Amino acid sequence: MPVTAPDLLKSCKLLPLPLRGDERGSLVPVEAGRQVPFDIRRVYTVFATKPGVLRGFHAHLATEQMAIAVAGGCTMILDDGLERRSVRLDRPDLALTIPPMIWHEMEDFTPDCVLMVLADAFYDEADYIRDYRRFLDVAGERRR
């Protein structure tokens, strides 16, 4: 069951991940087709982000992603072309899905933040929209 976040965009989901803990500590499994709603083709991490840095500022034409703050935290700003919402990712047992055509920006990284991102496609710059006006145009066309 997705976690409800009143401010989240409808097409993005916050999914709780299984937290396996015992007296030794904690473990969170993340499995394709189970917790992850797609086949994973790529994993990348964003870390050592300098104070005050803003990242992202793009949308993907087709790539779907899932982001997990495995350490520390950051704020994800999500925009579908109609609405803009932000959500704080700051625990390793919480995943945010970012479907295609969601403009996203990241800010307020804690110094220890390690953001792990799972993607259903290999890195391909041609899949990026990095211009916000173009994003609004494509989003509008797709809504028609």
Query: Would you please indicate which residues are annotated as catalytic (active-site) residues?
Result: 58
- Cα–Cα distance for residue pair 135/64, rounded to 1 Å: 16
Helix, strand and coil in the chain, % to nearest 5: 10, 40, 45
CA neighbor of 58 nearest in space, from 44, 76, 35: 76
Q: Least separation, in Å, of the C-beta of 24 and ligand TYD?
A: 33
Q: How many residues bind ligand TYD (CB under 6 A)?
A: 7
- Of the pair 23, 122, the CB lying nearest ligand TYD is at 122
| DSSP tag of 99 | -
- Cα–Cα distance for residue pair 83/102, rounded to 1 Å: 10
- Of the pair 47, 88, the CB lying nearest ligand TYD is at 47
Q: Least separation, in Å, of the C-beta of 3 and ligand TYD?
A: 24
Q: Which pair of structure tokens corresponds to residue 82? A: 């109609």
Q: Least separation, in Å, of the C-beta of 72 and ligand TYD?
A: 15
Query: Could you say which residues in the range 7-66 bind ligand TYD, by CB under 6 A?
Result: 42, 44, 46, 55-56, 58
CA neighbor of 106 nearest in space, from 130, 89, 129: 89
Residue 53: helix, strand or coil by DSSP?
coil
Residue in 123, 131, 142, 143 binding ligand TYD, rule: CB under 6 A: 123
Q: Least separation, in Å, of the C-beta of 21 and ligand TYD?
A: 30
Query: Could you say which residues in the range 61-120 bind ligand TYD, by CB under 6 A?
Result: none
Q: Which residues in this chain contact ligand TYD in the complex, by CB under 6 A?
A: 42, 44, 46, 55-56, 58, 123
